[in-house]
């Protein structure tokens, strides 16, 4: 998962359907091991997702457990002081990583971070390197919607993403579907008749 500031840009790639689900849920919900690993700048490990020591991902955990994940781990991607995102690994059965597995994962995170930074270095300003787009899902519709919402209600793009996620969660909808409605102008988050900043949005 690539991140910039507090904004989750999307996934560079996923190895299978379960990995893709994990990435999509973290992007939609704004919680999970990759998010924590990036924000806290440390390895995040949950060796027994069904029986965690502390309940930290209430919305993320149930669907991931249902998908067959027993343990999950997040590794920050960084090169020197540059933070890029996080690498997510999971296993079907509960249990911690062995010392060798942990060492391999840390090397893989370093390799991935260096590759992403070097690939992006050759791209034109305000564009994503072609090599990074292969197999990636950067959710352009969601980011477009966030830009529209930020203008509608006069908040930062990051705050607009939070509003979009909150609306999707409160209404039991996919974030991508809510974003589609915003971009198609079927849903607005302002209301000239009396919009309240704490409200999630309105249809129409």
pLDDT of 133 higher than 80? no
CATH entry, 140-203, from 2.40.50, 1.10.10, 1.10.150, 1.10.260: 1.10.10
Mean pLDDT of the chain: 83
Confidence of residue 204 (pLDDT cuts 50, 70, 90): very low
Exposure of 29 in the CB half-sphere (CA atoms within 13 A): 22
173-181, Cβ contacts within 8 angstroms, sequence gap of 24 or more: 174/28, 175/27, 175/28, 175/139, 175/142, 176/28, 176/139, 176/141, 176/142, 178/145, 179/139, 179/141, 179/142, 179/144, 179/145, 179/146, 180/141, 180/145
Lowest mean pLDDT among 4-8, 40-44, 105-109: 4-8
| Tens digits of residue pLDDT in 46-83 | 999 999 988 899 999 999 999 999 999 999 999 888 88
Q: Which of 79-83, 102-106, 134-138 has the highest mean pLDDT?
A: 102-106
pTM score of the predicted model: 0.70
What is the DSSP-derived secondary structure letter of residue 68? T
What residues does 73 pair with on adjacent strands?
45, 89
What residues does 85 pair with on adjacent strands?
2, 77
pLDDT of 201 higher than 70? no
What are the residue boundaries of the structural domains of the chain, listed by start?
Answer: 2-125, 140-203
Mean predicted confidence (pLDDT) in 186-202: 57
Provide the pLDDT for residue 100. Answer: 96
Provide the pLDDT for residue 182. Answer: 92
CATH topology of domain 2-125: Beta-Lactamase (3.30.450)
Contact 103, 80 (CB under 8 A): no
| Tens digits of residue pLDDT in 138-186 | 667 887 888 899 999 999 888 888 898 889 888 888 888 898 899 999 9
């Amino acid at each position: 998962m690539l991140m910039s500031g507090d904004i989750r840009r999307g996934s560079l790639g996923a190895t299978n359907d379960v990995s893709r689900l994990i990435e999509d849920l973290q992007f939609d919900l704004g919680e999970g091991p990759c998010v924590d690993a990036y924000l806290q700048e440390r390895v995040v490990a949950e060796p027994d997702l069904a029986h965690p020591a502390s309940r930290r991902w209430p919305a993320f955990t149930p669907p991931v457990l249902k998908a067959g994940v027993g343990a999950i781990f997040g590794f920050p991607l960084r090169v020197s002081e540059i933070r890029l995102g996080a690498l997510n690994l999971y296993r079907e059965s509960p249990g911690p990583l062995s010392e060798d597995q942990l060492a391999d994962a840390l090397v893989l995170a370093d390799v991935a971070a260096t590759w992403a930074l070097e690939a992006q270095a050759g791209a034109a300003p305000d564009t994503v390197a072609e090599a990074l787009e292969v197999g990636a899902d950067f959710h352009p519709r969601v980011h477009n919607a966030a830009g529209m919402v930020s203008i509608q209600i006069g908040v930062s793009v990051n705050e607009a993403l939070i509003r979009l996620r909150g609306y999707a969660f409160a209404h039991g909808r996919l974030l991508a579907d809510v974003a589609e409605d915003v971009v198609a102008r079927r849903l607005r988050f302002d209301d000239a008749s009396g919009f309240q900043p704490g409200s999630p949005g309105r249809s129409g």
